[in-house]
Structure 1
């Protein structure tokens, strides 16, 4: 189990954005941090009031937006328009090309989010968009499936061999995950303090797991974390 600390991530900031990059992105480049398995990007972003990403394009990537605080407004070239709030999960299949913008229209509140990119199983597909609300109370003390290759359990369907779970734990609560053979797991701590197989991870920390098969999660205070079930990393 390889633990990556929050303070080792890349950093970027301007007048409306404060961002931390778990993997190489934009001006941050580290040849040893180009991704993990098919997971290519996890950016933790704080978007200031009245700030946002203007219309820009992507190709051949599965893009997930996970909002933890505030409300983020979305528009894209497919004609979709929505607002993403805590509990909402948005998935864009960029496919052969999609344009989108994400803005914080609040006058005084920041938006705190994770932007996630996962490499697709098939390239050149028709671009697609989906958004679902997963009530936060439903992931208390359990690993809730948010996105998967087959849309099982009412999860969002993704064009990739990966599944995304999330959980919220409070003191005394615990969950377990058994890593399937031939798979790898990436854990990202979104909030709080997580105990993973006896190791303590702070908000922004992550763990890359290739050999351990039984994973035990708990907390002595509170924790919110994401778990990615991925193809074996090479």
Structure 2
């Protein structure tokens, strides 16, 4: 059976302008039973007020993957990349030997919501950046940006009544971002996760429009 983790059970970090929901131990939140899933070590849902965000801060030895759900994210890093990321673009920053990046809500009036995921990285060189425009076909697992880790990220959109079979993998994680998705009789709402370790294929279905991020861990 999959391990189901509910949205309401996530750790929460709050500041005046940013609220973050953490799927795994992160920052001041430490649970030795929930420090990662294969190479995945963070899935953070960031809710950022207009004009707010994070000033430049440093990372090393991690893959940082960003997927915007609502609004627009201004990104700048010491690899020289800067720009605005909107829904439909997956961004990856391989921190390597060390990189600084800053992230802010690009709007002075509208909220920003995005998912930022981190993985233990196999990229040991200078930092590297990539972004990919993703247009998921309904009912099809659509590859997103590649990472230097034994894992693959897929974006899934299901229309009402659709289903999809996710191929077997040593580990698989489903993170629902909008709507409701059914898995083995369990209903997953936005923010819920299913973590599977039996290596078998499984089916996802939806009675209404729904979206999810799916990690397939290959070893």
Q: TM-score range by the shorter chain?
A: over 0.9
Aligned partner of 1:142 in structure 2 is 140
TM-score w.r.t. length of structure 2: 0.96
Show the 5 A alignment for 1:120-131.
120-122=121-123, 124-131=124-131
Does structure 1 retain, via aligned residues, the 8 Å contact 2:61–2:122?
no
TM-score w.r.t. length of structure 1: 0.90
Instruction: Quote how far apart the aligned CAs of 1:121 are.
Output: 2.3
> Structure 1: which 4+ aligned runs deviate by more than 4 Å?
none
Between the two proteins, the alignment pairs up a number of residues equal to 218
Does structure 2 retain, via aligned residues, the 8 Å contact 1:41–1:116?
yes
Aligned partner of 2:27 in structure 1 is 26
Aligned partner of 2:212 in structure 1 is 225
CA distance in 2: counterparts of 1:147 and 1:84, whole angstroms: 14
Deviations 1:18-37 (A, max 9, x none): 11000011111111110111
Structure 1: 5+ residue runs without aligned partners? 149-157
CA distance in 1: counterparts of 2:119 and 2:134, whole angstroms: 20
Aligned partner of 2:70 in structure 1 is 69
Deviations 1:153-186 (A, max 9, x none): xxxxx21111000111121111111214xx1101
Instruction: Quote how far apart the aligned CAs of 1:212 are.
Output: 5.3
Aligned partner of 1:151 in structure 2 is none
Structure 2: 5+ residue runs without aligned partners? none
CA distance in 1: counterparts of 2:175 and 2:64, whole angstroms: 16
